[in-house]
Chain A
Amino acid sequence: MTRGRHAARASRPAGLRTLLAGSLVALGGLTGLALNMWTGASAGPAGPVPHVAAPRGRAAALASASQSGRVPAPLFLVIPAIGVRTRLVQLGTAGDGTLEVPQHADVAGWYTASARPGAIGPAVIAGHVDSLTTRGVFFLLRSLRPGDLVYVVRADVSVVRFAITAVKLYPKAGFPAAAVYGPVPYAAIRLITCGGTFDHSTGHYLSNVVAFGDQVGRAKPRPGG
């Protein structure tokens, strides 16, 4: 009897504790559920990749004025190091003046107001890191390393080759527009996608990944002497 009473005394506070802990967990779950309902109503986009306005007006006019003559437009992008093989759609700017992004997450797009790949200047190519449900064409962009090769096939089936020089992560607010879009004295490429933390309340990533590359393999002056 004494032993039984002793065991009972020990189990009473334990039972109480379990009861209290269980209640707390249930209460936490209830709070979470309530919060989820609350913010869920104002959360980001639903459905497939949101449709972004096709380039019209200013951007379209710029694109048509961009007949740089000798260098043909890009059609395909191949990045063996990260298994990218995609056709390139044409991107302008959206209605709010921001860079248009491809409508589908599995293709990349070339910004038509940027240089044609292989012409002097930076050719800007953007692609999604992911869609609402799955990986995008540039899911592995952040894992590119300096020296990795990027190939662009152009409308005349010519191939232009770039070597990655740097891959960097920038917060959206600190996006280096001049380094990405600004003038350079040689043929360059800029591959852009999203990265960093995903903000569930806005439905957007907080940062961008930019891979910088320079053209390589062009006929070079003979070294030596």
Chain B
Amino acid sequence: MKHVRLTSALSAFRHVLAACALSLGLLSIAAPATSAATPAGWLRLAHLSPNTPAVDVYLYAFGNSHARVVLHHVSYGTVSPYLPAPAGVYTVAMRPAGAASSSAPVLSTAVHVHAADAYTVAGMGPAKGLRLQVLKDRLTSPPGHAMVRVIQASMREHLVTIRAGTDLIGKNLAFATATSYQAVSHGRLTVRAAGETEHALSTLTLDSGTIHTLVVLDEPGHLRIDNLTDAAGSKFQPDGGGPATGLGGTAPPRASSMTWLAFIAAGLLLAMTGLIRFRRGRRTEFPMR
């Protein structure tokens, strides 16, 4: 977990780099779309600060002044889907909703994206003291289990305890903190988040082979639990390698009995010819006078 405060130095450096790139005519090398063929990771962007107004969230490839992605008017409790991003360093910046893209960001942080890894970059904490946290997300689960992590984003309840079924998955979690992932028994579970005065109940289906982040949020008068699917696989992995999806009707045929019979016939014919020629040859050599 990394906390990076707004650094105007970083921002300035980015602009200097961008200016250099412009003058060299090297701009916009970053490909807008990625495929599984290029080593890529994933980023999702979130606003989890209860008393911070809506923001525009910008994602830049480090050193590129053109944003890869801009999410407009992101309000408290919003988490974007995963955005694929080639491995590398990125800058996430937040500006007040509607502010010019050229204006100085309120907040920014650098994120190092590794191939095949996923990250949640969330604005967390109170408006005063807001910071961007980079959380590394888990993309695997042990067979037969669901994995769960909690982000505590309720400011009214400073300490929240959360249970999934009978499993305790977070005790007295402080505002603006996140737990690590833990395995829970899969299936349909009642999840209960309780603060000192407010609580939330939610019935969730956590399938085996899936990984979730539960976000505890402030709602007017009560708490809310948001269930994010970080990754999902098949609930059950079949055994025994690849499936048997072919019976050979289009495969090169094995030589059939008919082929072999034809071989025998041809062979016999050839042998007969040879025999006849051989005998005729003898007759010619010893002619009868």
Contact = CB atoms under 8 A, between A and B. Distances in A.
Contacts of A208: 241-243, 245
B245 A19 contact: no
Most B-side CB within 10 Å, residue of A101, A134, A181 = A181
Contacts of A114: 234-235
A139 interface: yes
Nearest to A4: B284
A221 B71 contact: yes
B130 to A, nearest CB: 21
Contacts of A184: 139, 231-233
A156 B66 CA distance: 39
Interface stretch (B165-173, B215-223, B274-282): B274-282
B285 A101 contact: no
A153 interface: no
Contact of A225 (B101, B210, B264, B280): B101
Contacts of A59: 236
Interface in A71-126: 93, 96-101, 105, 111, 113-115, 119-122, 124, 126
Nearest to A188: B36
Contacts of A165: 35-37
Nearest to A177: B237
A143 interface: no
A26 B243 contact: no
Most A-side CB within 10 Å, residue of B68, B82, B209, B279 = B209
B29 interface: no
Contacts of B241: 98, 172-175, 177, 208
Interface residues of A, number: 107
B42 A30 contact: no
B72 A222 contact: yes
A25 interface: yes
Contact of B245 (A113, A192, A212): A192
Contact of A193 (B245, B261, B278, B284): B245
Interface residues of B, number: 86
Interface string A155-183: 00000000101100010111101000111
B4 interface: no
B56 to A, nearest CB: 9
Contacts of A182: 140, 209, 233-234, 237
B234 A122 contact: yes
Given A22-B269, A33-B261, A208-B243, A8 B234 contact: no
A207 B273 contact: no
Contact of B273 (A22, A26, A224): A22
B13 interface: no
Contacts of B137: 185
Contacts of B36: 165-166, 212, 214
A26 B209 contact: no
B247 A203 contact: yes
Contact of B83 (A98, A130, A198, A221): A221
Most B-side CB within 10 Å, residue of A37, A173, A221 = A221
A22 B270 contact: yes
Contacts of B245: 101, 126-129, 136, 138, 192-194, 205, 208
Most A-side CB within 10 Å, residue of B187, B234, B280 = B234
A198 B260 contact: no
A74 B236 CA distance: 19
Nearest to B33: A216
B58 interface: yes
Nearest to B137: A185
A194 B234 contact: no
A42 to B, nearest CB: 13
Interface string B63-91: 00011111110000000111110000000
B97 to A, nearest CB: 14
Interface of A: 4-5, 7-9, 11-12, 14-30, 32-33, 36-37, 40, 44-45, 49, 58-59, 62, 65-69, 93, 96-101, 105, 111, 113-115, 119-122, 124, 126-136, 138-139, 146, 163, 165-166, 170, 172-175, 177, 181-186, 192-195, 197-198, 200, 203-205, 207-208, 210, 212, 214, 218, 221-225
Q: Sorted from nearest, which 8 A-B pairs have the closest CB atoms? A: A26-B267, A29-B263, A22-B270, A225-B67, A22-B271, A19-B274, A18-B274, A194-B246
15 contacts: A9-B281, A9-B285, A15-B280, A16-B278, A17-B274, A22-B271, A29-B260, A32-B260, A98-B243, A114-B235, A131-B249, A177-B241, A185-B230, A194-B246, A222-B72
Given A18-B271, A65-B188, A203-B247, 15 more contacts: A19-B274, A22-B270, A22-B273, A27-B267, A32-B263, A68-B205, A69-B205, A98-B244, A126-B243, A138-B245, A175-B242, A181-B237, A185-B230, A204-B248, A221-B69
